[in-house]
């Protein structure tokens, strides 16, 4: 789905992927039973040229100069990120992975990076990005059921942050997050310490089966942090702590996974996360 009047130039359409992970992650009937993967170049999406990567399970919109995800649309069209040019947590603060701070690179809306589609196969679309000085670099691989980010160059400490709107908003009554040990808390309750191993977290809403899974593939003993801002966006960071803004991740390579899982059942989520490690 092209965003907000954006001019689109279709690129090569890929054949339908048949992957074991699709069966594990796309548990609902409408999950991954969609059209083949494809990439569309958008001249403007919420203020910047972007790649729109359409997969059976989600549509990912990636700012090319910002080198960050501005939107993650589920099969129902709900945006789980919701970046916009509006100032603050309702707009410009949002994104993923929001890696380089305070320069706000590898963050949608940033202007100091470049991005290129470097691979299209039946199983994935790969986008590589780097900052103008070449000091930071990373690669996103979008598959039919998930996206995998590999940080390949990092000259100083960083974090991997999701700032967005789970299931389209921050609902104190119905929203929640859950850790890999099954521990669950309301979305409005802050939490700050190292995630239990394996290091993953999901965000969801009691009224929906779908959840957002975020995973750090190689665990560590660094702090991680969950909070919300003005009931407009969730703030979650691997390698982040409150109060802001120390960064606790360092070095490359490092690897992270983002996926929409079509079940809120703990056992199904745990199986999906394990399959993606």
pLDDT in tens, 130-172: 999 999 999 999 999 999 999 999 999 999 999 999 999 999 9
211 bridge partner residues: 261
Q: What are phi and psi of 233, to 5 degrees?
A: -155, 150
pLDDT, tens digit, 9 for 90 and up, residues 89-142: 999 999 999 999 999 999 999 999 999 999 998 789 999 999 999 999 999 999
CATH architecture of 8-276: Distorted Sandwich (2.70)
SS3 21: helix
Q: Is-contact 271 217, C-beta < 8 A?
A: no
Q: Is-contact 152 138, C-beta < 8 A?
A: yes
SS3 119: strand
Provide the pLDDT for residue 34: 55
pLDDT, tens digit, 9 for 90 and up, residues 52-89: 999 999 999 999 999 999 999 999 999 999 999 999 99
130 bridge partner residues: 114, 137
User: Residue holding tokens 């690669």?
Assistant: 139
pTM of the model: 0.88
Q: Is-contact 70 115, C-beta < 8 A?
A: no
The sign of the torsion formed by the CA atoms of 154, 190, 25, 14 equals negative
Sequence spans of domains, the chain: 8-276
CA-CA distance, 277 to 275, in Å (whole number)?
A: 6
Q: Is-contact 175 166, C-beta < 8 A?
A: yes
């Amino acid at each position: 789905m092209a965003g907000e009047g954006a001019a689109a130039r279709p690129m090569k359409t890929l054949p339908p992927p048949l992957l074991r992970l699709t069966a594990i992650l796309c548990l609902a009937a409408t999950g991954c039973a969609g059209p083949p993967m494809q990439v569309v170049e958008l001249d403007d999406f919420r203020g910047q040229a972007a790649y729109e990567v359409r997969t059976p399970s989600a549509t990912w919109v990636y700012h090319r100069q910002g080198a960050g995800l501005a939107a993650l649309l589920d099969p129902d069209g709900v945006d789980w990120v919701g970046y916009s040019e509006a100032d603050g947590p309702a707009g410009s603060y949002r994104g993923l992975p929001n890696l380089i701070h305070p320069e706000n690179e590898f963050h949608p809306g940033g202007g100091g990076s470049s991005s290129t589609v470097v691979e299209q196969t039946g199983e994935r679309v790969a986008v590589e990005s780097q900052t103008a000085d070449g000091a930071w670099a990373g690669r996103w691989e979008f598959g039919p059921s998930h996206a995998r980010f590999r940080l390949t160059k990092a000259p100083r400490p960083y974090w991997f942050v999701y700032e967005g709107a789970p299931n389209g908003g921050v609902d104190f009554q119905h929203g929640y997050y859950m850790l890999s040990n099954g521990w669950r808390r309301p979305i409005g309750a802050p939490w700050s310490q190292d995630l239990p191993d394996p290091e993953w977290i999901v965000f969801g809403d009691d009224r929906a089966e779908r959840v957002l899974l975020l995973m750090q593939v190689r665990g560590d003993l660094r702090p991680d942090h969950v909070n919300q801002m003005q009931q407009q966006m969730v703030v979650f960071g691997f390698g982040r702590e409150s109060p802001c803004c120390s960064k606790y991740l360092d070095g490359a390579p490092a690897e992270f996974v983002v996926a929409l899982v079509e079940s809120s059942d703990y056992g199904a989520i745990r199986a999906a996360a394990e399959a993606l490690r």
